[in-house]
Amino acid sequence: MTTRIDGKAFAERVREQVAHDVAALQAQHQLTPGLAVVLVGEDPASEVYVRNKGKQTAAAGMHSVERKLPANTSQDELMTVVAALNDDPTVNGILVQLPLPEHIDADAVINAISQAKDVDGFHLTNIGMLWSGGESMVPCTPLGCLMMLRDQLGDLSGKRALILGRSNIVGKPMAALLLAQSCTVTIAHSRTLDLAERCREADILIAAVGRPEMVKGEWIKPGAVVIDVGINRIETADGKTRLVGDVDFESAQGVADAITPVPGGVGPMTIACLLDNTVTATCRQHQIARESLR
C-alpha cells in the first residue's frame, strides 16, 4: 500500500501553529508580524497566488500589506518601494512576486530586500547561510518538502536522496537542506545520464522539473518516499484540462511507500511555510526564541 501524503491537512496544522505563535507574540511582546507582498503587473496566476497569500496572512492574525504596481513600473520605482518596506518596522517579511516584467533586473531587486526580511530565502546572503550551515531564511517550497519528509521518515540521516531539477527556487536549496540532514544527495537534471537508474537508487525522490508525469513507477525504488513538486496543466482526451505532477501518480502506486499527490501535496505547504518564515523572521528581528512562545 502506498500512503498518499495529505499536504492540505499538513499545511492546516502548520497554519494553526503559526496562528498560535502569532497570538503569543501579541500577548507576550505586543508584536504583530507583518508580511508585505509586492506584485508588479497583472499576471493572472500571480494575482491568484497573491490574493491567497493575503487571505491566509490575515487568517493567521498577521498584518498583511499588498503593493500592487503597474507593469511599466521602473527599476528605480520598485527599488524605492522595497527600500520603504525595509525601513517599515511593522513589516517583518517582504516577498516580491516572481516573475517580474522583463525590463526589471530581478536579482538586483531580490538582493535589495533586507536579508532579515527575505522570507523567500532568495537573497544571496541567505543562500550562502543555508549552504554554510548558518541561520538563514529557507525557501518556502523546499522547507515544506522537508517538513513532510521528516514527518514521514523521522531521521533522514544516511538516506539516499535524488533531486530531479536544479532550480534556484527548489532543486538547489532542497539539496542544501537534505545535506544538512545527513542524506547522500544527488542532483539530477536534463543532462543526467541513466536517469531512470539513478532515480531507482533513491530512498527519497524529489521531482521538480516541470515535465508532466515524467517519472514512471519503474523509475522508483520500492519503498521510496516520493515528493512531487511539479504542477503541470495538461489537456485531457475530452478537451478539458487537469493538473498533474512530474510523477506518473498511477504507476507509482504500489511501488512507493508514500507519495504527495498533485494537487493537494506540496502546493498548499508553500504559503503555510511563507507564514511560518514570517513568524521566524519576526522572532529573530526581536531576539525572541520561538520555542518561548509555545
Within 256-285, the residues that bind ligand GUN by CB under 6 A are: 270
Q: Residue 263: is the preceding peptide bond cis (ω within 30°)?
A: yes
115 is an active site residue:
no
Report the nearest approach of ligand GUN to the CB of residue 272 (Å): 12
Torsion of Cα atoms, 65 then 278 then 172 then 71, to 10°: 0
List phi, psi (to 5°) of 69.
Answer: -120, 150
Beta strand ranges found along the chain (DSSP E) = 3-4, 34-40, 63-69, 93-96, 160-164, 184-188, 204-207, 225-228, 232-235, 241-244, 258-259
* In the complex, minimum distance from the CB of residue 79 to ligand GUN, in angstroms, rounded to a whole number: 16
Question: Does 238 participate in catalysis according to the annotation?
Answer: no
Q: Least distance from C-beta 193 to ligand GUN, angstroms?
A: 30
Q: Does 120 bind ligand GUN (CB under 6 A)?
A: yes
Taking CB under 6 A as the criterion, the residue among 97, 260, 278, 282 binding ligand GUN is 97
DSSP lists the bridge partners of residue 40 as 69
Q: Does 145 bind ligand GUN (CB under 6 A)?
A: no
Minimum CB–partner distance for residue 95 and ligand GUN (Å): 5
Residue closer to ligand GUN by CB (options 120, 248) is 120
Phi-psi region of 117 (alpha: psi -120 to 50; beta: other; left: phi over 0): alpha
Q: How far apart are the first and last CA of the chain?
A: 36
Side-chain-side CA neighbours of 142 within 13 Å: the count stands at: 27
**Closer residue to ligand GUN (CB): 39 or 62:** 39
Closest residue (Cβ) to ligand GUN?
98
In which order are the strands placed within the sheet that holds 63-69?
Answer: 63-69, 34-40, 93-96
140 binds ligand GUN (CB under 6 A): yes
Which one is catalytic: 118, 120, 246, 248? 120
| Binding track over 43-82 against ligand GUN, x by CB under 6 A | ----------------------------------------
Compare residues 106 and 153 and give the one whose CB is closer to ligand GUN: 106
Q: How many CB atoms lie within 10 A of CB 113?
A: 24
> Which one of the spans 6-14, 92-100, 124-132, 150-158 is the region binding ligand GUN (CB under 6 A)?
92-100
- Judged by CB under 6 A, the number of residues near ligand GUN is 7
Under the rule (CB under 6 A), what is the footprint of ligand GUN?
Answer: 95-98, 120, 140, 270
**Which positions are catalytic?**
53, 97, 120
